[in-house]
Amino acid sequence: MGKEKSHKDKFDADEYVREVYSSAIKKLTEVTYGTETTVDVNHYCDLPGTVFGNIMMIALQKKIDIYRILEECENLVAADKNMNPEPFNITPVLKIDRSLIFLSLLAEKMECNVYDFFTPNEEARRKFVYTLLDEINEDNWSMIDTEYDHKTGDYEFIILDFEYVYGLSKRTTKNYLENMTLTIRKTHSEDESVYYSIGFGIFYPSIDNFRDYMLKGGWLYEEEQGKLEKYTENLIVKYHEFYSDL
């Protein structure tokens, strides 16, 4: 017969809990910062760009007040004790779970399928953007004029308060960092290729939103040639004609 386990050999639940908490506290207090670029830049752009762009396109298609809905979702997850636990509390909700739960809440409030956020349907985006361009009054565009643009040949045009202009919301703001703009850009890459892109929402983090799950904006579509290219070049010609007449 085997030797009977002594009291010391038996599982000590209290000791186990103390060890788990001790390990968790050690990890939380050992603050480390990245020192190298170990993740390829494409991982920052491809999937996030698809998700954010799809969310903004669906919001425009359904005429949804996406600013309000995103704020509601951020507030919900901030108040939840598992999604936003107190310091040193152990929670089973991992970082990837929190992000997916946030997107699930967002889809619920947008009344769409969460899987639609992840589908990279370039043709659907192209058709939507081309239709959107036909609906916009060209006189609503404003040129963002900087010295940088003149040196590189890059251009940026915006329509301020586009959520109000397009009927998504009654919200307007004078704060540029909170303004849901429609933005068109002409940019040159390092290999001198020219790209034309269009996006909607807020693209710059501020002290108020840098901890949010996502910025309230996304790029809808990009191309080198096509209707967006011709539309942008026409805006550039009009811009130069206007200032040459002053």
Residue spans per domain, the chain: 42-244
Give the number of C-alpha atoms closer than 13 A to the C-alpha of residue 121, restricted to the C-beta side.
14
Whether 213 contacts 102, CB under 8 Å: yes
Q: How far are the Cα atoms of 36, 89, 147 from residue 33, in angstroms, in the given order? A: 9, 22, 35
Which tens digit of pLDDT belongs to each residue from 108-127?
A: 999 999 999 999 889 999 99
Q: Average pLDDT of the chain?
A: 86
The DSSP bridge pattern shows strands 142-143 and 181-188 to be unpaired
Write out the two tokens for 35.
């020192």
Q: Give the pLDDT confidence of 175-207 residue by residue, as tens digits.
A: 877 889 999 999 998 888 999 999 999 988 877
pLDDT of 208 higher than 80: no
User: Stretch 36-44: mean pLDDT, rounded?
Assistant: 87
Asked if 180 and 162 touch (Cβ cutoff 8 Å), the reply is yes
Give the residue from 58, 241, 39 showing the smallest Cα distance to 138.
241
The pLDDT confidence band at residue 11, using thresholds 50, 70 and 90, is low
Beta-bridge mates of residue 183: 158, 199
Residues 222/197, Cβ–Cβ less than 8 Å: yes
CA distance 38 to 217: 26
CA distances from 89 to 7, 35, 199, 202 (A): 30, 28, 39, 33
Q: How many angstroms from the chain centroid is the CA of residue 39?
A: 19
pLDDT of amino acid 243: 63
Banded model confidence at residue 82, pLDDT cuts 50, 70, 90: confident
For the entire predicted model, the pTM comes to 0.82
Helix, coil or strand: residue 44: helix
